[in-house]
Amino acid sequence: MADDFLLTPEDVAEIAAILADTKYEKLEVTTLRFRLIVARSGPGWSQDWSWGTSEVAPTGISNQAQAGPIAPQVPASPGDQNGLVPITSAMPGTFYRSPQPGAPPYVNVGDAVEEGTTVGIVETMKLMTPVLARVHGTIMEVLVENGEIIDGDKRLMLVSPDSL
């Protein structure tokens, strides 16, 4: 449960050490109990904690990693064929198409998705983070294998958006 998720100072130090080798400037971890922001500050890292209850809510992602549902706001680039919108991972880790081994995938090619539909999960530091669709549409292509290690900003799937 998200409200049971606790971090120790050692966990924060490990997060900063892992992020030091990435291009990310900032990591936000939000639970029902707290919000942690770890950000580059000159040559080192800084951290900011906010303690709260239900008013603590996830924020959008802009070239940063975030624990919690992953729904990066990456617009379709002009190079996308046929107007397909990519679903990308905002953080590195291991991508899984299903909630557990042997379970059916969250989505398959041809499945309809809505904004907020879980299409997979990324495991980073033993934390399973849902990857969410950010448009209404149809899954046209799955670009990565189940269990594949991915970088942040990796394209995972392509969606053909519905015209409204």
DSSP string, 25-67: SEEEEE-SSEEEEEEEETTEEEEEEEE-STT------SSSEEE
For the chain, the structural domain boundaries read: 2-67, 81-161
For 81-161, CATH number? 2.40.50.100
Answer yes or no: are the C-beta atoms of 95 and 156 closer than 8 Å. Answer: yes
Model pTM?
0.54
Please write the tens of the pLDDT for every residue from 5-34.
566 767 777 777 777 777 777 777 776 666
CB atoms within 10 A of CB 111: 15
Place of tokens 């990324």: 122
pLDDT, one tens digit per residue, over 28-76 is 777 666 677 777 665 555 545 555 544 434 444 333 343 444 444 344 4
pLDDT in tens, 83-112: 899 999 878 889 999 988 889 999 999 999
The secondary element (H helix, E strand) that includes residue 95 is strand 93-96
